[in-house]
Amino acid sequence: MCSSGWFDGTAKQYLSQVRPGGVAPQAAVDLNPPIQVTVQGRTQQSVILTGMHINVTARHPKPATGIVVQTGQCGGGVTQRHFDVNLSATPPTFTAKPAVDDYTGKVTSPAVNFPYKISLTDPEVFELDVTKECAGDCTFTVVLDWVADGKNGSSILDNQGRGFRSIDAASLPRYQLQPGTNGMELQPATRGGNKR
C-alpha cells in the first residue's frame, strides 16, 4: 500500500525514531489514508443504507513545519464500493466511482451510489479515498444513515473515538523511506509520486 505521513520534525529526527521494519515513528500522522468501512446487518432482515456524510469535528491551520514521508509501494486491494471524498467542499462531499483493476486498468464494477441494502448474509464494503484535503488540519467522523423496521437512524464511524484526520501538507518537504547500505534512509521524493 502506498502511504504518506506527516512528521513534525526534521529528516534526521525522523530516521532516529523509525521503528524496526521501517515502521513510521509513533508521532507520525498518516496523510489521508483510505477509510475502509464494512457494514453488515445483525439479522436476515434487510437494512437500507440511505446515505453517508462527513462531520468535521475540529479545524486547525495547516502545519508550517515538518516533513512528509512516503513509505511502501503503491498497490491494489479487494473489490469494494469506492467513493472519493472532498474535504475542501462545504459541506464535504462523496462521489461514487467505479472499481478499477490495478493491473489492467479495466472497470471491474460500476460506480453505485446510495441507497444500498444489507443483511446478516449480505454485507457491503466501502472504501473512502480523500482526494481533496481540508484546508489546513481537520478531524472528522463519517456518519452512515439507515432505515430498519421503518425507523430512521444514523451510525457514527469515529475511528474508535479518535476521529479521522486530514492534513494539507502540500508545501512541506517530501521524502521516500527506503532501505540503504546503513539501514533505512530518506531520499527526496517527487511530488507527483505521492498521490494515489
pLDDT digits (tens, 9 = 90+) for 163-175: 999 988 888 889 8
For residues 127 and 80, what is the distance between their CA atoms, to the nearest angstrom? 6
Element (DSSP H or E) covering residue 14: helix 11-17
Residue 25: the pLDDT is 86
Indicate if the pLDDT at residue 100 is higher than 90. no
The span from the CA of 158 to the CA of 116, in Å, is 21
Residue 195 neighbours by CB under 8 Å, 6+ apart: none
Judged against a pLDDT cut of 90, whether residue 191 lies above it is answered with no
CB-side neighbour CA atoms (13 Å) of 124:
20
Predicted pLDDT of residue 196: 36
Write out pLDDT tens, residues 3-35. 678 889 998 898 889 888 778 888 888 877 788
Res. 84 pLDDT band, cuts 50 70 90: very high
**pLDDT value, residue 193:** 42
Residues 114, 48 contacting (CB under 8 angstroms): no
- Interval 114-150: pLDDT, tens: 999 998 888 888 999 998 988 899 999 999 999 998 8
pLDDT at res. 2: 57
pLDDT on residue 79: 45
Determine the Cα–Cα distance for residues 112 and 99; give it in Å rounded to an integer. Answer: 10
Report residue 6 as a C-alpha cell. 506527516
Share of the chain above pLDDT 90, in %: 33
> What pLDDT score was predicted for residue 195?
38
Report pLDDT for 47.
93
